[in-house]
Structure 1
Amino acid sequence: MRLKHIAFALLVATALTGCNDTLDTTSIDLKSVKNKVEQPLPAKILADMQAKNMPRQSPIMIRILKEEGKLEIWKARADNRFEVIKSYDICAWSGKLGPKVKEGDRQAPEGFYSLTPAHLNPNSKYYLAINTGFPNRYDAANGRNGSNLMIHGACSSSGCYSMTDEQVLEIYAFARDAFRGGQTSVQLQAFPFRMDAENMARHRDNQNFAFWKMIKEGYDNFEITKRPPEVNVCEKKYVFNQQLTGNGTFAPASACPPMSTAPALVSALSSYEKTYDVAYTKALDKYDGKVWYEPTEAERKAVVSEKRKGRDIAYAPTGTSLEAGKLMSESDFKDMMEKRMAAAQAKNAPASSVMLASAGPNSRATSAAERMRQDRLPTATTPAIAAAAPTVMSAQGKPVAVPVPAQNPLAYAAVPQQTEEAKKPFWKFW
């Protein structure tokens, strides 16, 4: 009889555990945290790691998807392949889709970054912080600049990826445990969106498309191998999983040395690209005559304005581009832009500035000739972009200065930058 009672108790406990699976594991009461730097990961996450055969201190990788507003923690299983262990909703990120180019542009970084223990900032004014490592070798070679770009708490961003304090408490713990397990460098991959055929086709008119195609190569390498790719920079561009075939080294601004891709990876990439090409062609047909309207930061904030009620004024969630953006026909998009120009002229405001702020870089031109002209413009990967100030012409044909956002006001304790160490090829990882 007693055994029956014990079995029933275990059954109830299991059922309750199942219910708790749906709860937000970041709902910890921060007042109960005695030492935020040493706060252990929740028992639920540790149980998930054990179920996925992930040693507690095995390596991690961080992946950010701006448009969806997601920060993913990928962790190595015992077989050295990585799997998502936790996904978080980013509370706030500023600017629009596209890489950071210069100090004060309010853009959050995109690309591949190497994080060391020195990038952890336990004394941040924003609860806890991890420096993204911007600018990296690619950014520096292309004249991009900025400082204090972080993943931090407080849910308020000016060029950073801001989480809630509860979320960053866990993210910090993931990195801390991995470093203590012997990982010397955590790879941060920051993308504008999941780089599948559907999203690439939807954003094909964005001025950053050439840059996105380049970092997509690293995205594809990871999707195939499920291991962080070996990242190098030469000729001012990223190269992934390349083996040196002779004398020479990778130098960001110099010609690429003789290099090659492992045959097995070449075969896997070829198969992957064939499937992608079919899906991309299908997606182009789907989005023919359509324009994706990317929302402004203010429009994103409006969608999640309810979240701010009852909180400190500094708490400023921004929502996702997918929630506030929309797919429009070219004619509807043109009509919307014309109405905004008319409204701006009625208020004696530079209409072209309103167009630039509202439409963003991914709006299509309204004529075939204008589209061809835009196709020839330098992309965001061109170094000149970083130095040149944006200028537009008003409706009267006069130059109009485009207002530049104020410099990033966030102040952090200085985090020493370390030179990226030579890495083992991906097939020898960990």
Structure 2
Amino acid sequence: MSGKGMSQSDPILVRIFKKESELEVWKRDRSGQYALLKTYPMCRWSGQLGPKKREGDRQAPEGFYAVTADLMNPRSQFHLSFNLGYPNSLEKSQGATGSALMVHGACTSSGCFAMTDEGVTEIYGLAREAFAGGQRSFQVQALPFRMTPENMARHRNNAHFAFWQNLKEGSDHFEATKQPPKLAVCGRRYVFNAKDGSASMTPGAPCPVIELDPQVQPLVSQRQDRDQARFAELVSAGAPAMSYAYLDGGMHTSFRAMLKNLGPERMQPMVAGKVEISRPDAALADPFAGDDSAWAMITRSLAKQ
């Protein structure tokens, strides 16, 4: 921290990327902006890319959340944990159900983000010190993947694409300013960094005319214009869109060798659901052809049972 101009008590922000199975902790430095402190490999998340909508769907949530001190759980059955606060105000307005969606230890998930005991110990400690330093809540950005033009182009045919475009707005605000974006909700979407004094916004109600904070707008617009141009270039060049196969969730590549050693019998309870595969439609005749990853080998073994 000292090498990055940070202290233990400085505020934090957490970013979660499902597809990459990574969790980032960002921390405010002496410049007043947030900088990346550390990236943690995620041991397990369940479900598929896309938001959580109902209790029992095994989906890990996607969205923007505020974690307060009362959501920290030092007595978790999974070592240590903190509750994301799902459903948030947007999700409640859409009738979403579910509870106890956590970042926790261990390496098992039914809608949570499992970091292993060692990983969650560090993350929990960073949050604890930030609260002790006066931070009242820290923002968690739970995203389907890194919101690059390349990833958006790959997933442009997904049913959740419009929702992901809204999530990308928030990601763009953070990337452009290195500050947690101010959140509001209206019209079944998130609104980021609305100008102070803007008309009030109500979850589930239509959005009023929205003006962005004038200090933020040029920075965000520049980034969005560049990404939109790159997205259009990729689509025009014929970049393939993703196809889908049945598989449940994912994990960071650093954990796959361990799974190979566990064997398919112990893996079977963890595999069921649907997630994208990184192949164009033409490759679906054998979706695992040429893929020798441990995860693919385990899945092939399960398919034969």
TM-score by length of 1: 0.61
Q: Deviations over 1:351-396 (max 9, x none)?
A: xxxxxxx9xxxxxxxxxxxxxxxxxxxxxxxxxxxxxxxxxxxxxx
Structure 1 residue aligned with 2:194? 242
Secondary structure of 2:279's counterpart equals strand
Structure 2 residue aligned with 1:62? 14
Q: Which of the residues 164, 186, 195 maps onto 2:147?
A: 195
Q: Give me the whole-angstrom Cα distance separating, in 2, the residues matched to 1:140 and 1:55.
A: 36
Q: How does 1:350-361 map to 2 (within 5 A)?
A: none
Structure 2 residue aligned with 1:141? 93
Structure 2 residue aligned with 1:251? 202
Structure 2 residue aligned with 1:72? 24
How many residues were matched structurally? 281
Structure 1 residue aligned with 2:233? 282
Gaps of 5+ in 2: 288-302
Structure 2 residue aligned with 1:46? none
Q: Give me the whole-angstrom Cα distance separating, in 1, the residues matched to 2:262 and 2:189.
A: 46
Secondary structure of 1:297's counterpart equals coil
Q: How does 1:272-311 map to 2 (within 5 A)?
A: 272-288=223-239, 290-298=240-248, 306-308=257-259, 309=261
Structure 2 residue aligned with 1:218? 170
Pick closer, same or farther for the CA change 1:245–1:50 going to 2, 3 Å: same
User: Structure 1 residue 257: deviation in Å?
Assistant: 4.3
Q: Deviations over 1:384-422 (max 9, x none)?
A: xxxxxxxxxxxxxxxxxxxxxxxxxxxxxxxxxxxxxxx
User: Structure 1 residue 317: deviation in Å?
Assistant: 8.3
Radius of gyration: which is bigger? 1
User: Structure 1 residue 293: deviation in Å?
Assistant: 3.3
Q: Give me the whole-angstrom Cα distance separating, in 1, the residues matched to 2:150 and 2:5.
A: 33
Pick closer, same or farther for the CA change 1:305–1:272 going to 2, 3 Å: closer
Pick closer, same or farther for the CA change 1:59–1:331 going to 2, 3 Å: same
Q: Give me the whole-angstrom Cα distance separating, in 2, the residues matched to 1:198 and 1:157.
A: 28
User: Structure 1 residue 300: deviation in Å?
Assistant: 5.0
Q: How does 1:106-117 map to 2 (within 5 A)?
A: 106-117=58-69
Q: Which of the residues 212, 215, 220 maps onto 1:269?
A: 220
Secondary structure of 2:153's counterpart equals helix
Q: Which of the residues 119, 124, 138 maps onto 1:167?
A: 119
Structure 2 residue aligned with 1:94? 46
Secondary structure of 2:162's counterpart equals helix
Q: Give me the whole-angstrom Cα distance separating, in 2, the residues matched to 1:133 and 1:220.
A: 23
Q: Deviations over 1:77-125 (max 9, x none)?
A: 0111111101011100001100101111110000000000001001110
Contact residue 45 and residue 111 of structure 2 kept, 8 A: yes
Q: Give me the whole-angstrom Cα distance separating, in 1, the residues matched to 2:133 and 2:79.
A: 24
User: Structure 1 residue 284: deviation in Å?
Assistant: 1.2
Contact residue 142 and residue 236 of structure 1 kept, 8 A: yes
- AA at the equivalent of 2:10: S
Pick closer, same or farther for the CA change 1:295–1:176 going to 2, 3 Å: farther
- AA at the equivalent of 2:211: S
Q: How does 1:12-31 map to 2 (within 5 A)?
A: none
- AA at the equivalent of 2:200: T
Q: Which of the residues 323, 326, 340 maps onto 2:278?
A: 326
Pick closer, same or farther for the CA change 1:245–1:61 going to 2, 3 Å: same
Q: Give me the whole-angstrom Cα distance separating, in 2, the residues matched to 1:332 and 1:108.
A: 28
Q: Give me the whole-angstrom Cα distance separating, in 1, the residues matched to 2:41 and 2:230.
A: 28
Structure 2 residue aligned with 1:43? none
- AA at the equivalent of 1:281: A
Q: Which of the residues 179, 191, 204 maps onto 1:227?
A: 179
Q: Which ranges of 4 or more aligned residues in structure 1 deviate by more than 6 Å? A: none
Q: Deviations over 1:243-265 (max 9, x none)?
A: 2446x533212233454212232
Q: Deviations over 1:141-171 (max 9, x none)?
A: 1111111110001110000001110000001
CA RMSD of aligned residues (A): 2.7
- AA at the equivalent of 1:128: L
Contact residue 95 and residue 107 of structure 1 kept, 8 A: yes
- AA at the equivalent of 1:268: L
Q: Give me the whole-angstrom Cα distance separating, in 2, the residues matched to 1:300 and 1:185.
A: 28
Q: Give me the whole-angstrom Cα distance separating, in 1, the residues matched to 2:170 and 2:65.
A: 12
Pick closer, same or farther for the CA change 1:62–1:299 going to 2, 3 Å: closer
User: Structure 1 residue 272: deviation in Å?
Assistant: 1.5
TM-score by length of 2: 0.84
User: Structure 1 residue 283: deviation in Å?
Assistant: 1.6
Contact residue 47 and residue 248 of structure 2 kept, 8 A: no
Gaps of 5+ in 1: 1-48, 338-357, 359-430
